[in-house]
Amino acid sequence: MIPRVETLGDGRNFATIRETAQALGCCSRTIERAIYRGEIKAVRVGRAVRVVVPALDAWLRGQLEAPAKPWKREKRKGTSNGTI
């Protein structure tokens, strides 16, 4: 049985990027990148962006179920190969 993931725990359906980052213990830029990549669902309300908490919970459960991938740093585009 998969444990229930509680990110905010106060019953709200939407959270700010900052609240989401604090709940997950990461930087708000990390959440923004995940939203941009489509990993975390969010909606725009005017100029504000709100994370959909039930979708975030489902994404986290999926992360728990997925086999762990070995960490590998990706090479950035446009970086040199060490030669000048």
Give the per-residue pLDDT at 36. Answer: 94
Give the per-residue pLDDT at 9. Answer: 58
Instruction: Give the three-class secondary structure for 45.
Output: strand
Contact 14, 50 (CB under 8 A): yes
First to last CA, the chain: 54
Mean pLDDT by 10 residues, the chain (84 residues): 50 87 92 93 93 90 78 68 57
**Residue 54, phi then psi, degrees to nearest 5:** -60, -35
